[in-house]
Each structure stands twice: as C-alpha cells, then as structure tokens.
C-alpha cells in the first residue's frame, strides 16, 4: 500500500519503511542459492558485519536554529547532477534477483537521478544498460581486468562507444574470497542467464560451471589448454579452460599491478573515460593511486566478500582521506543502510557513497520499483538527516557534525 506522506518527504510504501524491512522482504523473495550468494561475506562474515557496525560508533552533533527550509542534496559526478551523493554499486548477476535485472536498476537510477555502476559480470549487456539511461545518469563500468587483455580491450571499447563515463577497476580481487555458502550450494548461474558482456566470447562448453566461487569444483572440471588462454590461478598452477566465461576461467588476475596495468588501462580508456580504482583500504595505496594519476578512489572491501578480517570501510576511510589531501575524489562503499550512514561517511571525508546489497534487495522485492523505493528511502533519510543536523548543502557536511563513542561510552570529538 502506498500512501501520501504529510511531512513533505514523499510517498510511503507502508510495508517497507526502511532498508532493514526491505532486506527482510527480499529474504523471502529469493531462492536460497541467490540469497546466500548476495548476502554472505567471506569466511566468518566478520568484515561484512563490521562494515555495518562501524557506523554505530559515530553520533551526529546537530546544530539548531538555522534556516533549513531549503536543503540541496545534489552533487556533481562525471559532469552530471546526481540528486544525492549516493550511487548503486556494481553487483554481478542481477537477473537472479528479478527478471528486471540490470535494466530495472538502470531505469530506477535514471528515474531517481542516481549514478549506476554496472558489473563486468552483469546478466545484461552494457549497451542495453547505457541505452536505458540514455546519458541521463552517469554510468560507470566496473572492470575486472583480464590477464588476457584482448577481452578487456574489447569491453573497454564497447563501454566508450556506449557512453560510459568511467571505469572502476576492482583491485581487491586478485583471487576470489572464500564464500562458504556459495561453495556448499555449488552456486551456478542458471542456464537461461548469461554473463551478457562476454556471451559472444564463449566457446562451446566443455564445462557447464558458471560459479564464481567453487574452487574444488572448478579444479575437477576445467581442462588445461593452450597457454595463450586466460586462466585462473590455482596455487602455483595456472589452469586454462574453455567453455562459458566465468570469474574463475577469465577474470581472477593475480598478476595485476600498478605500473603495468594502470598505465595500460589509462591509455586504453583515454580520453573518453576516467579510470578509478575500487577496493583501496590504506593510505599507502591511496598515495600510489594519486601517484599513478587515477581519477578517483573507492574505499571498499567488496562488501566484506574478499579479505575477511580487513578493516571496516568507514574505519579505513579517514586514513585514505588524509593521504589524498583532496587531490582526487574519495568515494566509499560497504554497510551503508541508512541516510544517516551517508551523512557520517561524508562527515568523515568521503565525497560520495555507493550502496550494493540494498539495490539487490530492492530488485528482489519489486524489480525496478523496488530499487526506486530503496533509493527513495535512503535519499529521503539523508535529506531529513541533513535538515535535522542543521546543514543545507552537501559540501558543508564535515567532521564538526560527528563524535565517536567508544566501547565504554566515552565520547570524543574528531
Ligand atoms: C552479490 C554481489 C555481487 C558483487 N559483484 C561485484 C562485481 O561484480 N564487481 C565488483 O567490483 N564488486 C562487486 N560487488 C561489491 C559491490 O560493488 C560493493 O563493493 C559492495 O556490495 C558494497 O557493500 P554493501 O553491499 O554492504 O553495500 C558485489 C557485491 C555483492 C553483494
Ligand atoms: C562474478 C563475481 C566475481 C562478482 C563479484 O565480484 C562478487 O560476487 O563479489
């Protein structure tokens, strides 16, 4: 049921008034394999949980008696006006959640004026997604840079042609993290879906596995072949498969490094698309990113799906911001579930945030309409938070509006 709100914030879906409720609805809409794949983190999942809990360590210091009748949540991103400093993070295989898949997410982003990141491992082609947004919102292509550069080269050329504004090179995934539910479920993309951006590259299947994370299974199924093929790294041994494009067969690339790959990528993308790195978590790497002239950083631990035990992204953010000194934009993702989380991340120095799983839950709940609902919930909460904290412009959000509360309840200014 949708009712018109009286507080001026907008319409409400009375069944779903928060991202928490959205998560609960989505839980019941997804089959077990999809739910486990989307929701789990690596190993014990402690980094996934800490990404969320990190936001609870901060409290907001509201200022009052300021005229907050006109609040502007807009920010510029890649030359576009984004209605809030929030984007939808790239997440793979969205058609598992709902038949609307990535097109539903794209339409929702377009309708809401919100940037969208498209995964290399999408179940919809980048051309179809770009056409849906028709240049109205900036689209970012997330890139797994294949060891076999021809695959990546083609993809980058297509992204340029389709009008993507930037590529986010994911740098936290030289190997895939250990996701135990995925392994136990023997996760497979059902045969009626395709990893669409690479569908034409596929060779006749020797193996039908499309699992992103089933190392034991892959080992037994994949056959060694010519060394000119991309492969996955299995300890000391490289395995070169044929068959459908999978993360294991074509994307895991433990050879990636700053000198060789970032320079190459900048040349390939230049000048049409900006090259950013996604998955930075330390000041040292942030400085290297600046040194190599990448255009921006996303502080990310892949939603706790890669290195479990890594620092929560909100806790890693301050050292990255400090190192970068405003030379390039710093974005953050991981664990953002409330408008107040967006406010806190910005107060700690982020320029922009990306949300991952909530978009998947929105898709599972109601397809495109569910993603719109998610974006509306979080954007409305953010706007309300700004107003109640006494801020009317995004650029005025600063650490003056936060305090940190430690485990014993001790409150400190930042
Ligand atoms: C199901 C799923 C698939 C993902 N696929 C990708 C991907 O293909 N490429 C990538 O760089 N990050 C991927 N991510 C990570 C997200 O881009 C983002 O970093 C993360 O979801 C943010 O955390 P959150 O889910 O807590 O918001 C994926 C995350 C999830 C949950
Ligand atoms: C195809 C996968 C490797 C996508 C991904 O990054 C993830 O599942 O976290």
User: What value does the mean pLDDT take over residues 119-141?
Assistant: 95
Q: Is 352 in the pocket of ligand 1 (CB under 6 A)?
A: no
Judge if the beta carbon of residue 121 lies within 6 A of ligand 2: yes
* Angle at which helices 149-162 and 126-133 cross, to 10°: 20
How many CB atoms neighbour CB 83 within 10 A? 17
321: left (phi over 0), alpha (psi -120 to 50) or beta: alpha
Q: Is the pLDDT of residue 173 over 60?
A: yes
Determine contact, residues 108/368, Cβ cutoff 8 Å: yes
* Beta pairing class for 86-88 and 80-82: unpaired
Quick one: CATH architecture of 2-177+253-401? Alpha-Beta Barrel (3.20)
Q: For residue 289, what is the enclosing H or E element?
A: helix 283-291
283-291 helix and 313-324 helix, angle to the nearest 10 degrees: 40
CA of 173 to the centre of ligand 2 (A): 9
Per-residue model confidence (pLDDT) at position 221: 32
- pLDDT at position 252 is 75
Q: Is a pLDDT exceeding 60 seen at residue 74?
A: yes
Among the bound ligands, name the one nearest to the CA of residue 38.
1
Q: What is the pLDDT of residue 243?
A: 53
Q: What is the mean pLDDT of residues 25-36?
A: 97
Which of 119, 173, 195, 276 most suits a substitution to test ligand 1, by most atoms within 8 Å of the C-beta?
119
Domain positions in the chain: 2-177+253-401
- Of residues 1 and 80, the one with the higher pLDDT is 80
Best probe residue, ligand 2, of 92, 175, 182 (max atoms within 8 Å of C-beta): 92
Whether the pLDDT of residue 154 is over 60: the answer is yes
The DSSP 8-state label assigned to residue 248 in this structure reads I
What is the four-CA torsion angle of 99, 163, 298, 54, rounded to 10 degrees? Answer: -40
- Cα separation, 239 vs 220, in Å, equals 11
Q: Is 214's pLDDT higher than 70?
A: no
pLDDT digits over 250-309, tens only?
667 899 999 999 999 999 999 999 999 999 999 999 999 999 999 999 999 999 999 999
Report which ligand 2 atom has the smallest distance to the Cα of 195: 1
> Does the bond joining 271 to the residue before it have cis omega, within 30 degrees of 0?
yes
- CA distances for 90 relative to 252, 266, 325, angstroms: 17, 20, 26
Q: Evaluate if residue 121 carries a pLDDT over 80.
A: yes
CA Rg, the chain, in Å?
21
- Which residues lie below 8 Å from residue 35, measured CB to CB, with a gap of 6+? 26, 27
No. of H helices and E strands in the chain? Answer: 14, 17
Could you give the CA distance from residue 25 to residue 377 in angstroms, rounded to a whole number? 15
Residues with a known catalytic role: 302
Token pair listed for 202: 């596929």
> What is the whole-number distance in angstroms between the Cα of residue 410 and the centre of ligand 1?
34
Number of residues that make up the chain: 414
pLDDT at 235 over 90: no
Tokens linked to 360: 């998947």
Q: How far is the CA of 196 from the centre of ligand 2 (A)?
A: 14
Is the CB of 170 within 6 Å of ligand 1? yes
């Amino acid at each position: 049921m949708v009712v018109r709100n009286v507080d001026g914030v907008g319409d409400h879906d009375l069944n779903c008034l928060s991202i928490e409720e959205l998560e609960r609805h989505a839980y019941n809409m997804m089959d077990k394999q999809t739910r486990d794949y989307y929701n789990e983190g690596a190993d014990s999942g402690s980094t996934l949980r800490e990404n969320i809990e990190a936001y609870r360590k901060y409290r907001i210091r509201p200022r009052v008696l300021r005229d907050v009748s006109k609040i502007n949540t807009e920010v510029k991103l890649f030359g576009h006006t984004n209605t809030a400093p929030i984007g939808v993070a790239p997440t793979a295989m969205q058609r598992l959640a709902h038949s609307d898949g990535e097109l539903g997410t794209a339409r929702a982003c377009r309708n809401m004026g919100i940037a969208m990141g498209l995964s290399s491992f999408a179940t919809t082609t980048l051309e179809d997604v770009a056409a849906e947004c028709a240049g109205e919102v900036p689209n970012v292509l997330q890139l797994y840079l294949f060891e076999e550069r021809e695959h990546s080269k083609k993809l980058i050329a297509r992204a340029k042609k389709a009008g993507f504004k930037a590529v986010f090179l994911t740098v936290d995934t030289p190997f895939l993290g250990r996701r135990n539910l995925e392994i136990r479920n023997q996760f497979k993309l059902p045969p009626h879906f395709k990893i669409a951006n690479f569908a034409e590259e596929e060779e006749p299947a020797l193996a039908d596995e499309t699992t992103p994370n089933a190392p034991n299974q892959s080992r037994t199924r994949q056959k060694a072949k010519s060394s000119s093929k991309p492969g996955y790294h299995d300890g000391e041994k490289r395995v070169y498969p044929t068959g459908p494009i999978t993360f294991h067969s074509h994307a895991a690339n433990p050879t990636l490094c700053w000198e060789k790959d970032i320079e190459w990528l900048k040349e390939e993308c230049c000048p049409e698309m900006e090259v950013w790195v996604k998955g930075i978590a330390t000041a040292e790497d942030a400085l290297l990113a600046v040194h190599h002239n990448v255009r921006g950083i996303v502080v990310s631990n892949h939603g706790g799906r890669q290195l479990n035990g890594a620092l929560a992204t909100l806790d890693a953010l301050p050292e990255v911001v400090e190192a970068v000194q405003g030379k390039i934009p710093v974005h953050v993702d991981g664990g953002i579930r409330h408008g107040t989380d967006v406010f806190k991340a910005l107060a700690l120095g982020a320029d922009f945030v990306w949300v991952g799983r909530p978009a998947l839950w929105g898709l599972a709940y109601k397809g495109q309409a569910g993603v719109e609902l998610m974006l509306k919930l979080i954007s409305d909460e953010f706007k309300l938070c700004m107003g109640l904290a006494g801020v009317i412009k995004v650029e005025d959000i600063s650490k003056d509006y936060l305090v940190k509360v430690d485990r014993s309840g001790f409150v400190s200014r930042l």
